[in-house]
Copies of this chain bind each other. A is one copy, B any other.
Amino acid sequence: MKSDNLLLGIDRRTLVSSLALLPALSRTLLSTPAQSQATPDAPLASWNDGTARQVVVDFVRATTDRASPRFVPPEDRIATFDQDGTLWVEHPVYSQVVYCLDRVPAVVEKNPKLKNVEPFKTVLSGNREAIAKLPLHDLEKILVATLTGMPVEEFEAEAKKWLTTAKHPRWNRLRTDLIYQPMLEVLQYLRGNGFKTYIVTGGGQDFVRVYSQQVYGIPPEQVVGTAGGTKFGYHKDGKPFLTKEPKLLLNDNKAGKPEGIHLMIGRRPHAAFGNSDGDRQMLEYTGAGDGARLMMLVLHDDADREYAYGPAQGLPGSKVGTFTQALYDEARKKSWTVISMKTDWKRIFPFA
């Protein structure tokens, strides 16, 4: 992948930290009832028989069996899931970045002075090649302009509208349709066994909270993400409101994931799921606890049905959702389970 492609080539941590600076569906939400994708009688129905499926089943059985030495009391059953590349498609560009670019015309309409100012001018041109080449500090300006400066309710309404209309170029489907059916089943299976499921994402906390309940069955308060501050103030009529500020509180990626888990949850998960080097520390932190712990990584090795990228195991390299060989080796060494999309998943999407 060429590194002069800005949107694909920038460092994920930096990008996501900027994303965080800013922040948040209905037809699509209603069309993907995460709660009813599997029946209790057939957990993990979209998984092929194999080690990955078995590891999940064994973990749930051991942690919920009072007679097991690996039993975990219900109040301690916390499971955390990365979102981009773990629960939904992250290629070729993170959905939230596309959201920010799509919001530029509205931002310029509100502030016409920006029309001839970079990077807004380039984004408005629609020239994809030029947009992809925008330097990082310009992309940050776009994130700040589209994710901060407005009341939280206004941001939520805008994100919701976008999520019900914007489609992924490859499938021509809403982004919230491009969620992984096998992972929905894991969420549901864990919840059905008393686990509290959390999203722990490098993406914007406010962005993901807009659709987490309807898409994943995860309420807003169980979404930990890159988060900016808000500022409390009053309208002229005395009514209070919160404005989204360009002040980064939590860069919820890499080391920021365990730090975010401590801040927002306050206890160590017993299970953690990711798909990239951004999730390494979360899995390490989860694995460092006593008793039963489940650590799993999704490997995108299915170019036909989704995408194939690593560079682990000789897959093509990628700046979005990088899964290095070093992470793969650490997983082997620590007995984390690598999920092969190609081999372990019977189907990828709910609509398939």
Contact = CB atoms under 8 A, between A and B. Distances in A.
A265 B196 CA distance: 15
A264 B206 CA distance: 11
Contact of A230 (B196, B209, B263, B288): B263
Interface residues of A, number: 36
B230 A266 contact: no
A213 B255 contact: no
Interface in A226-263: 227, 229-232, 239-242, 249-250, 255-256, 258-259, 262-263
Contacts of A311: none
Interface stretch (A108-116, A215-223, A300-308): A215-223
A248 to B, nearest CB: 10
A272 to B, nearest CB: 12
A60 to B, nearest CB: 21
Contact of A240 (B209, B220, B227, B258): B258
Contacts of A229: 259, 263
A162 interface: no
Contacts of A288: 239-241
Copies of this chain in its oligomeric complex: 2
Nearest to A75: B219
Interface string A118-158: 00000000000000000000000000000000001000000
Contacts of A249: 249-250, 263
Which one of A240, A250, A281, A288 has the highest number of Cβ atoms from chain B below 10 Å of its Cβ? A240
A285 interface: yes
Given A241-B288, A242-B259, A258-B240, A221 B281 contact: no
A108 to B, nearest CB: 27
A205 interface: yes
A327 B213 CA distance: 37
A206 B75 CA distance: 18
Nearest to A265: B221
Contacts of A265: 220-221
Given A221-B267, A249-B250, A262 B230 contact: yes
A284 interface: yes
B75 A213 contact: yes
Nearest to A267: B220
Contacts of A230: 259, 262-263
A75 B209 CA distance: 14
B285 A240 contact: yes
Contacts of A213: 75
Q: Which 5 pairs between the two chains have the least Cβ-Cβ distance?
A: A220-B266, A232-B255, A221-B265, A240-B284, A209-B266
9 contacts: A206-B266, A220-B265, A221-B264, A230-B259, A230-B262, A230-B263, A232-B256, A241-B288, A242-B259
